[in-house]
Structure 1
Amino acid sequence: MRTALAAAAEDVIIYDLDGIGRQYTDLCAELPGLAVRFAMKACPVGEVLDHLARLGSGFDAASPQEIVEALRTGVAPESIHYGNTVKSDRNIAEAYRMGVRDFATDSVEDVTAIAEHAPGSSVFCRIATTGHGALWGLSHKFGCSPEDALRVLVAARTSGLVPSGLSVHVGSQQMTAEAWGEAIRTLAALLETLNRHGIVPDRINLGGGLPALGALDRRGRPLEPPLDKMFAVIREGMERLRAVNAAPLGFLLEPGRHLVADHGAIRAHVARLTSRHRLDGNREDWLYLSCGKFNGLYEMDQLQYRLEFPNRPDGQFVNAVVAGPTCDSDDAYAQDGTVRVPRTITSGDPVWVHSCGAYAAAYATQGFNGFSPLPYRCVGGAAPESEGA
């Protein structure tokens, strides 16, 4: 990784395929018997998808175009889960045409559309969670109540679909093990209710939410999620859910950032270090980078990426707000936190932005303010180094 970064003359995202592969293997070892469906939205880079497919991963897709990309890796359609509860009739029909038969849902209206355009398919009803403890809660747009879930799955059975399972998502970058425990308690109670109504799911999708470890919080402190405890709660929860269901249960997981975030880095450069007084009279230093919210660092409103300045390892430092190059005021770290940067840094100095492998490529615009999306380079893995844009 460091060699590839040092050799890069221009800004570039580097993905470490070997690191991603190790993360996948470690996850499978921690949660044996659980099928992985990589959340493609976290890193829709062809070489990353290919590498995960070679290791045995399936995919969680949110659109027909993501299904196309998943199939391109050679995985079978049954290893692809259409995990987006927001789908048009056209989306459903296209996914069905490509062989996908697993659909997430959270409403009777969506079930009716799936029954019409993807007859006989399996549906997972997504249950809403509070999102407490996560950097991004995901608690409003997706998921229904347990009471609605019963109606949704009864409607699925009545319309000729297979009421195959339940799914949850405890929030992106979840920082507590209790979130998993709460979700599993909800799922267990709902399984008992469904069984009483003659609906016996055969799979549970535990969704995404597993955290990455390398970023910092908004004030620059290390994120320290209790990952080992999370795995223990999930393992215990899987056994509990198997015990309450009237038939054997399989389990799916849809990790995204957990697999890729800490194995991606951007080789950027300094635009300018400035100092100015605010209206309240206090002086404030700003470090402007060549990349920001709209070309690689979309999540800077909720976390800080670790920065490394290879040309200026020693000397005096200042605490600066970090911002991207555009003239959008949201293109900056949340201003309740600053970053320690070398006082002598100058325009053009290289900067390594670490732990940004999740969503760096996915959220990039097509050139907001004329700042182009970053190209990427993949290193390691079974294939030789490759480059893309």
Structure 2
Amino acid sequence: MTATTPPPGSRLHRALADAPGDRLVYDLAGVEAAYANLVRELPGVSVRFAMKACPVDEVLTCLARRGSGVDAASPQEIAHALRTGVPVERVHYGNTIKSDRDIAHAHRLGVRDFATDSLEDVEAIAAHAPGARVFCRLATDGKGALWGLSHKFGCSAGDAVRVLERARDLGLTPSGLSVHVGSQQMTAEAWDDACDRLADVLTALDRRGILLDHINLGGGLPAAGYLDQWGTPLEPPLDEIFAAVRQGMRRLTRVAGRRLAFLIEPGRHLVADHGAIRAHVLRLTSRERQDGARAHWLYLSCGKFNGLYEMDALQYRLVFPTHLGADAVSAVVAGPTCDSDDAYSHDHGLVEVPGAVASGDPVWILASGAYATSYMTRGFNGFSPLPLVCLPSDRVPPPRRPERIDDVTACAGGPR
């Protein structure tokens, strides 16, 4: 089953139409439906929502009630997750970059699962979170993703073996391996390659008597509703991606020769398409460029610093509800601030916008639910953060038993 953006007439669209002013709207029922689809596609996989994508209380609570845990990157995120009802046994410290103080703080909060990718970090974990479980992040090349994440995080296969051997020597539990194939990954092959890397390290560790109990397949699952920098719809092959993940899980289980638990860390995949912004037009202008050509600029009340941070790498879908079907002009779309980076590309990022649009007209910015709140400034140039509205879900969550990694078994060969 392929994820889709909310259709016209959906709850999200109705909320945008009814909004009396600018705001960011989340449809919690849509978020829950995306989660339900994910666990159907990957049966037996335990979800750790990458909360940096949407640290909104209502979103965290609704996912926790469905059984999701959290991938947290700081003690502050850990505490936030716990306040919203996420059980501590479903929280791991997924950031490989952390100070001694942060490790100790997370340990005091009850977290026992820590990511690592270096000898220095694993030694700090042993000193400040004695007895903890550690999983080592492998580097990937990030090919096929909008954001490759190939430099700052992850280590080589050889380093992974050395790090987990050192963890064992220091009294920690070397518990797993993780990867991240890059954010908004658009290919199934990326997961095939990641599983190749994981299989090689699993085999090397087995030879050294280190028997891991889980594999963390990380983030990267794409959202469906984006446009690329040129305005072409991005169409991620989700069915192929899910099939590659299931096949990779079966392969890794065979390589290990024992039952493994599997985790995954979706972020934008669960929230991007179920959040949208109601903004308004500031002005449509026409100016002569230095080369003599004329250019249209559409200035909106929302831009890079108050909800649309990822406009450097993609275009958001714009709907002008009071000008549907109107004659259009090609324009550079920009936010309201006095900052030249607050705009789509001046060359290839032109957008067809209604030529008759006027100051104050509403505009809906779809598929903007990921990272909208995370990257929003407190008020750069005096433009305040957007008010937040969550449309409640009437779904009744199924009962869930307490969960730990070591008692989650992946049913990788089960039904889709």
Q: TM-score, normalised by structure 1?
A: 0.97
2:304 corresponds, among 293, 299, 305, to 293
The residue that corresponds to 1:257 in the other structure is 268
2:228 corresponds, among 213, 217, 222, to 217
List aligned pairs for 1:210-359, cutoff 5 A: 210-335=221-346, 336-359=348-371
The answer to whether the Cα contact below 8 Å between 1:172 and 1:209 also exists between their aligned partners in 2 is yes
CA distance in 2, matches of 1:92, 1:246: 33
CA distance in 2, matches of 1:371, 1:53: 33
Cα drift, residue 74 of structure 1: 2.3
| Percentage identity across paired residues of the two chains | 67
List aligned pairs for 1:61-140, cutoff 5 A: 61-140=72-151
1:58 corresponds, among 56, 63, 69, to 69
The residue that corresponds to 1:365 in the other structure is 377
Cα drift, residue 314 of structure 1: 2.8
The answer to whether the Cα contact below 8 Å between 2:176 and 2:214 also exists between their aligned partners in 1 is yes
Cα drift, residue 279 of structure 1: 1.1
2:158 corresponds, among 147, 161, 169, to 147
2:150 is aligned with 1:165: no
The answer to whether the Cα contact below 8 Å between 2:135 and 2:177 also exists between their aligned partners in 1 is yes
The residue that corresponds to 2:411 in the other structure is none
Could you say what secondary structure the match of 1:201 adopts? coil
The residue that corresponds to 2:211 in the other structure is 200
Q: Which amino acid aligns with 1:308?
A: V
CA distance in 2, matches of 1:190, 1:2: 47
1:374 corresponds, among 369, 386, 394, to 386
CA distance in 2, matches of 1:280, 1:314: 32
The answer to whether the Cα contact below 8 Å between 2:60 and 2:86 also exists between their aligned partners in 1 is no
- CA 1:86–1:348 in structure 2 vs 1: closer, same or farther (change >3 Å)? same
CA distance in 1, matches of 2:268, 2:102: 25
Could you say what secondary structure the match of 1:307 adopts? strand
Cα drift, residue 5 of structure 1: 1.4
CA distance in 2, matches of 1:276, 1:48: 43
In angstroms, what is the RMSD of aligned CA positions? 0.9
CA distance in 1, matches of 2:378, 2:155: 34
Moved over 4 A (4+): none
* Residues 286-326 of structure 1: per-residue CA shift (max 9 Å, x gap): 11100100000000010100000011113321011111001
Q: Which amino acid aligns with 1:164?
A: S
The answer to whether the Cα contact below 8 Å between 1:89 and 1:113 also exists between their aligned partners in 2 is yes
Cα drift, residue 2 of structure 1: 2.1
Cα drift, residue 382 of structure 1: 4.0
CA distance in 2, matches of 1:97, 1:315: 59
Cα drift, residue 3 of structure 1: 2.4
Could you say what secondary structure the match of 2:85 adopts? coil
1:40 corresponds, among 51, 55, 76, to 51
The residue that corresponds to 1:386 in the other structure is none
Could you say what secondary structure the match of 1:166 adopts? strand
Cα drift, residue 9 of structure 1: 1.7
CA distance in 2, matches of 1:73, 1:270: 35
Cα drift, residue 4 of structure 1: 1.6
CA distance in 1, matches of 2:394, 2:129: 37
* Residues 77-128 of structure 1: per-residue CA shift (max 9 Å, x gap): 1100110001011110010001000000000000011001100000010000
Could you say what secondary structure the match of 1:91 adopts? helix
* Residues 237-291 of structure 1: per-residue CA shift (max 9 Å, x gap): 0000000114321000000000000000000000110111211122111111001
Could you say what secondary structure the match of 2:136 adopts? strand
* Residues 137-182 of structure 1: per-residue CA shift (max 9 Å, x gap): 0111000011110110011000000000000000000011111100
Cα drift, residue 333 of structure 1: 1.1
The answer to whether the Cα contact below 8 Å between 1:286 and 1:320 also exists between their aligned partners in 2 is yes
Could you say what secondary structure the match of 1:114 adopts? helix
Gaps of 5+ in 1: 384-389
CA distance in 2, matches of 1:124, 1:85: 10
Q: Which amino acid aligns with 1:258?
A: H
Could you say what secondary structure the match of 1:233 adopts? helix
The answer to whether the Cα contact below 8 Å between 2:145 and 2:181 also exists between their aligned partners in 1 is yes
CA distance in 2, matches of 1:178, 1:347: 46
Number of residue pairs aligned between Structure 1 and Structure 2 = 383
Could you say what secondary structure the match of 2:295 adopts? strand
CA distance in 1, matches of 2:225, 2:388: 20
The residue that corresponds to 2:187 in the other structure is 176
CA distance in 2, matches of 1:323, 1:171: 27
The answer to whether the Cα contact below 8 Å between 2:61 and 2:86 also exists between their aligned partners in 1 is no
Could you say what secondary structure the match of 1:179 adopts? helix
Q: Which amino acid aligns with 1:50?
A: T
